[in-house]
Amino acid sequence: MKQTDQTNLLYISYYWPPSGGPGVQRGLKFCKYLPQFGVQPGVLTVDEKQASYPVLDHSFANEVPEGIKVYRTATSEPFEYYKKLSGKKEIPYSGFANEEAKTGFLNKVFKFVRGNLFIPDARVGWNKYALKKAEELLQAGQYQTILTTSPPHSTQLIGLKLKEKYKLPWVADLRDPWTNIHYYDQLYHTPIAKRIDKKYELQVLEQADAVIVTSEDTKRLFMNKPVRINPDKIHVIPNGYDEDDFVYDSVPPQDEFLITYTGTITENYNIDVFLKVIAQMKSIHTDIRYKLRFVGKVSEGVKQRINNAGLEGITEYVAHVPHKEAIKYLMESTALFMAIADVPSMYSNVPGKLFEYLASNKPIICLGPVHSDTDRIIDECGAGRLFHYTAYDLMLDHLSLMSKAWKLNPNLDLPYINHSQFSRRALTEQLAKVINRIVIKAQV
């Protein structure tokens, strides 16, 4: 394919503004930069008035690139019934992550219904509407290539059906593991439900022309399945950061040691060692005013842990804010805290926030699995340090050194972090190469 040739790509994603979260950012940034590499995307998504979004961020609507056609369809989902029966005002996160502590009978029923009546997930009701619109667009010859992104993994079944019918080049972007996701066993699948779900997963992996994952460990998970695919067909394109989003100057506070966490944090994030270390630092360095700031959704269980550690008085909670405002909070911090959920699939979990943490040039303090993809990225970029969930002494020594350095200069910004490979433009260039490669192969 010549550089002047253009591929028209139908990008199929449930999550699109006004939804928030890393999945939305990934799609927006891909669509922003793909035209620079000869790929013109159009987006097929759900009608925002009928969608079931766990997080809303209306500011993302301002980031939809000009010239991008967005097609919205109806959907049919069970979440309104869930809210009525449960008395909740919000829908559950994936795997009921925002209801982790609730193990009552009704909550178990909801999980059982989710795991057995909605395969692979509760947004599968969107598929028939999305398929109808996609077929209309493909039959009109408007698009020659398909990209489906998940979760929800039900979206991949749209790509599967379109591939079977139209034989067009198809990229399956799986941002999370499928049947290996950490909450999978909490959904009380019956044996037949598991078989159906695994069959869907294998069909997608085998029949997609290219598979995109966000971490090396997720690639290893998929390659360990009995699928008939070439390892070269699976490409690792992580989440990243957009240089255009970092318009704020770095202004760390001069009178306090401020550590910021952004995003959702629930009970399965094991942060007890970090809290214990901060409590100890307060007693050792009495001349330093430490402050913790959580920007986003913090579960009541985590707040209780913070209180139990005696840190209630130095902790600030900021409710969910627009994406760019969250970046401003990063730039106004001394250091950044991150944690990987302490779950079986933790090695494949590379939080989307990691890359914006890198772009902020702030030192990162992370709790998670040693030798994981996250550990490797932080180390290779020289951006801070990851500690195991039990590494109290190591973290205490590290924070002590940081505190001593802070007394000399309250600006601990790192002079240089090698993170340019994670810019959204560079990552989109990788995706465009994958797309162009399968298009050329289809033309042969």
The average pLDDT across 318-338 equals 95
Q: What is the DSSP letter of 149?
A: E
Contact criterion met (CB below 8 Å) for 160 and 8 = no
pLDDT at 352 over 60: yes
Element spanning 377, H or E: helix 373-381
Q: Please tell me which residue, 6 or 411, carries the higher pLDDT value.
A: 411
Residue pLDDT, tens place only, 237-261: 999 999 999 999 999 999 999 999 9
Pick from 355, 368, 351, 289: which is nearest to 327 by CA? 355
Residue 144 confidence (pLDDT): 93
Q: Which residues pair with 387 in a beta bridge?
A: 367
Residue pLDDT, tens place only, 68-102: 999 999 998 876 544 444 455 555 555 444 444 45
Element spanning 150, H or E: strand 145-150
Which of the four pLDDT bands, split at 50, 70 and 90, describes residue 133? Answer: very high
The average pLDDT across 265-283 equals 94
The CATH number of domain 7-75+115-239+423-443, selected from 1.10.10.10, 3.60.21.10, 3.30.1490.20, 3.40.50.2000: 3.40.50.2000
Residue pLDDT, tens place only, 46-55: 999 998 887 8
Q: What topology is assigned to 243-420 in CATH?
A: Rossmann fold (3.40.50)
Percent of the chain with pLDDT over 90: 71
pLDDT at 318 over 60: yes
Residue 5 confidence (pLDDT): 75
Structure tokens of 85? Answer: 């029966």
Q: Using CA atoms, how far apart are residues 438 and 415, in angstroms rounded to an integer?
A: 40
Residue 345 confidence (pLDDT): 66
From the CA atom positions of the chain, what is the Rg in Å?
22
pLDDT at 62 over 50: yes
Residue 23 confidence (pLDDT): 87
The residues of the chain that CATH labels 3.40.50.2000 are 7-75+115-239+423-443, 243-420
The average pLDDT across 384-390 equals 96
- For the chain, the 3-state helix, strand and coil shares in percent, each to the nearest 5, are 45, 15, 40
How would you class 282 by CB atoms within 10 Å of its CB: exposed for 0-12, middle for 13-18, buried for 19 or more?
A: middle
pTM here?
0.88
Residue pLDDT, tens place only, 146-190: 999 999 999 999 999 999 999 999 999 999 999 988 888 888 889
pLDDT at 4 over 50: no
The average pLDDT across 195-200 equals 95
Residue pLDDT, tens place only, 12-54: 999 999 988 778 999 999 999 999 999 999 999 999 999 888 7
Residue 92 confidence (pLDDT): 54
